[in-house]
Amino acid sequence: MKRNIVVGITGGIAAYKAAEIINDLVKKGYEVNVIMTKNATEFITPLTLQTLSNNKVAVEQFDHIDKWDTEHIALAKKADLFLIVPATANFLAKLAHGIADDMLTTTVMATKAKVLIAPAMNSGMWENPIVQSNVSILKKYGYMVLDTASGRLACGDNGSGKLLDWKEISRLAQEQLKE
């Protein structure tokens, strides 16, 4: 049976890079389910990711309530691995403090699978001690939070906070499932 990776996408400019990762994982034979935050849909369309993943994309938690299926629990159980890419400062803060107010945060909190998180944000945000403290909290609870790369950011600044190379993130995700 195919191993399942649930890819969570949040509202950062690097969201388009998640498309390459999803495409790569599908090509390598993984089943991929995608959950986007509402803000992520401002950056990349669910249709693109639905087409690449061959699966319906989940955004709204209450979309499917008529079917009485608790999709967040179903995906939480189905996942062999969770990959959040890109992870916003907002997402890191919510998860670190147990806030489950949308489909993505609710599902991540419900899962027993390993969770790999690839943050991306402006250097000022990434270096903010509040963000770094949230990263430490998440690591303490066993979440795998990747470091960021340094370079030119989408906003024109140079510094840390850049999403790691998407190929490296895809490789690290696959490595988790080989252990």
Catalytic residue positions? 155
Map tokens 């840390």 to a residue: 160
Structure tokens at 74: 């179903």
Gap between the Cα atoms of 140 and 151, Å rounded: 28
Q: Does 145 bind ligand FMN (CB under 6 A)?
A: no
Tell me which residue of 161, 84, 150, 141 sits closest to 115, measured CA to CA.
84
In angstroms, give the least distance from the CB of 166 to ligand FMN: 14
- One of 4, 33, 53, 88 touching ligand FMN (CB under 6 A): 88
Of 35, 83, 85, 89, the one binding ligand FMN (CB under 6 A) is 89
Q: Does 45 bind ligand FMN (CB under 6 A)?
A: no
CA dihedral 91, 93, 99, 105 (to 10 degrees): 20
Residue 8 binding ligand FMN, by CB under 6 A:
no
Site residues (CB under 6 A) for ligand FMN?
A: 10-14, 37, 39-40, 88-91, 120-121, 125
